[in-house]
Chain A
Amino acid sequence: MQRREFLKLMSAAVAAGMLPVTARAGQARGRVVIVGGGYAGATAAKYLRLWGGEKLEIILIEERRNFISCPLSNLVLGGSKKIDELTFSRNGLDHYGIQRMEYTVAGINPDDRTVFLTRARTSYGAPFGYDRLIVAPGIDFVWDKYPLLLDAVGRPSDPRSAADQSTFPGVPIQSASTPRGVLEQQLPHAWKAGEQTVNLRRQLEAMADGGTFVMTVPKMPYRCPPGPYERASQVAFYFSKHKPKSKVIVLDENPDIVSKKALFLRAWEELYPGMVDYRPNNVVTEIREYSGRSGFLVKTEFEDLSADVLNVIPPQCAGVVTHPFAQDLRNGRWYDVDFLTYESKVAPNVHIIGDAVSSALPKSAHMASSQAKVAAAAIVALLSDQPPDPQPVFANTCYSFVSDKLAMHVANVYRYDTQKKIMLPAEGGGVSDHASEQEGDYARWWAKNIWSDVLT
């Protein structure tokens, strides 16, 4: 077939209404404001420019100066990476003509399409208008599931129990903002990479040989399904090299290892025999600080455990950057979106991408960047008066390290199902046969390539 005939066929198909015509680059006009500069938000900013052309105004609002990668951050706990190696500026996005603002979003008004910004508790002038808003807030933690944590660090959750700290008050904390500070210092979740990760590493370094590291895994869904098991592997790697008499106990609220199960079990058995004690269906019911010594008493429905270092990975919800607007957006813990555009189901012109989205898709960095690209393409189409792609397809690859060098993957293609209106995994996806050094190399290059794609 010649090019001419091919085009004729295409034109006929379009004329017959068989095919939507998508936008030409450079036609999109308007202002897109992006809240959140992680994997999802930064990717959206860059690809809006690549696909939307020069006329689009793109503004990226992120309160934190640096981008710190969660992928590979478990290696900081294992000791084979430093957090600085995972820390980047977003300057590499500047040459795309993306305006970056280090502000906090204090509120969003979808009715008149404005956002309110603050910095150091000072509001930023007038509300800020947009044509399309992208919200990429990542995750936040549901602290009220862990009222005992507050008790453990000497912050009574209920004033009535303040007189008697020896008993658990048993009153759920309603406020999501109470426990920061002291709690995060003594019991770092380390589930957002950065200071928390370094803190947990220091605690592991300070622990004596023969000690016990206890970690918890929240019920799905949470950020990075294989992440907790990778963390257990990394701590075991560190112990095997430096503290071989120590133990890792994993208290999993889920009925089984959530991701790459056979691969993790095999790695623990072969690399760290007798060191990783995995316990499914284990819900922590109480945590208490010891008096006169470091560490915590951890109670489950089954037994009492003594933890020299304790890492509670709390239950998670969509990041709350947009309070009080977020309360309207959220369906339970995550945001409901249309998977063709990632537009909110309740707030028109607001698109939500990344870990904050309610879906069965794994909450991974690669997934966040793919969602960002679908949303960017859809917004470019919508701002050019064109229909968005009716059936997006994208891939996800997620690596986990079980030592400093050995890694394994799970990989899938996902295709929009026009009946169910969600992204479904295609046939053919799956996991590695076994962890290998070759995949360790691929995993490190995956990181460098995705950092390049997202940040430069």
Chain B
Amino acid sequence: MRWRICAAAWLLCGTSMSPVLADEGAADTSHLRVLAASCAACHGTNGNSVGGTPVLAGLMPAYFVAQMQAFRSGKRDSTVMHHHAQGLTEAEIALLADYFSRQPRVTMHAPVPESN
């Protein structure tokens, strides 16, 4: 499944595709890591949210893609996510789906303020 999605992403993108890592698979590129990491402000490091937003780590790729497509089309209501889903290409969504599916689920905590 994972590889089919990667391959699909690759084919969708054609020659405009950004960098791809040869020996560890497309999903481990520096490009993809940075893109995925920019989701962390709301969804936590490597998709391990501390709360309030869905944990993306370990999600089934097909589920991730379906949700993002639903945000894009407006089929799923959202406050913020349609702005991100519409800004990403289908290839990027497929790559992100694969990336997050491979991240282990880890319990993350918000740091404790100095007042506590």
Q: What is A's interface to B at a CB cutoff of 8 Å?
A: 1-3, 6-7, 9-11, 13-14, 18-24, 47, 51, 66, 82, 84-89, 92, 365-366, 369-370, 373-374, 377-378, 380-381, 387-397, 409, 411-413, 425-430, 432, 436, 438-439, 441-442, 444-446, 448-453, 455-456
Contacts and interface: CB of A to CB of B under 8 A. Distances in A.
Given A84-B115, A389-B31, A452-B50, 17 more contacts: A6-B3, A6-B7, A10-B25, A14-B22, A19-B22, A51-B30, A88-B113, A387-B19, A392-B35, A394-B35, A395-B35, A428-B87, A436-B79, A449-B43, A449-B52, A450-B42, A456-B109
Among B23, B26, B41, chain A packs the most CB atoms within 10 A around the CB of B41
A11 B24 CA distance: 11
A453 B3 contact: no
B29 interface: yes
Contact of A412 (B21, B51, B83, B92): B83
Contacts of A441: 52
A427 B19 contact: no
Contacts of A452: 44-45, 50, 108-111
A149 B102 CA distance: 56
B76 interface: no
Interface in B14-42: 15, 17-26, 29-31, 33-35, 37-42
Contacts of B111: 88-89, 92, 451-452, 455-456
A430 B83 contact: yes
Contact of A453 (B20, B41, B80, B86): B41
Contacts, number: 208
Nearest to A365: B41
A390 B19 contact: yes
Contacts of A389: 18-19, 29-31, 34
Contact of A456 (B87, B108, B114): B108
B75 interface: no
Given A87-B114, A413-B87, A426-B87, A393 B92 contact: yes
Contacts of B51: 445, 448-449
A395 B43 CA distance: 12
B84 A3 contact: no
A373 B87 contact: no
B116 to A, nearest CB: 8
Given A47-B37, A51-B30, A388-B30, A21 B115 contact: no
B6 interface: yes
A28 B66 CA distance: 37
Contacts of A88: 111-114
Nearest to A376: B34
Contact of B34 (A392, A427, A428): A392
Interface string B69-95: 000100000011011111110001000
B4 A1 contact: yes
Chain B: interface residue count, which band? 35 or more
Given A47-B37, A448-B50, A452-B111, A18 B42 contact: no
A195 B72 CA distance: 43
A392 B31 contact: yes
A425 B86 CA distance: 11
B101 interface: no
Contacts of B114: 66, 84, 87-89
B33 A51 contact: yes
Given A22-B30, A389-B29, A395-B84, A449 B115 contact: no
A411 B84 contact: yes
Contact of A439 (B18, B29, B79, B109): B79
B34 A374 contact: yes
B30 A10 contact: no
Nearest to A391: B18
B18 A394 contact: no
B52 A444 contact: yes
Contacts of B92: 393
B53 A445 contact: yes
Contacts of A430: 83
Contacts of A373: 33-34, 37-38
24 contacts: A6-B6, A10-B25, A21-B22, A22-B19, A22-B21, A369-B41, A388-B30, A389-B18, A389-B30, A391-B19, A391-B31, A394-B35, A409-B79, A413-B84, A426-B86, A426-B87, A442-B52, A445-B49, A445-B50, A445-B51, A445-B52, A446-B52, A449-B51, A456-B108
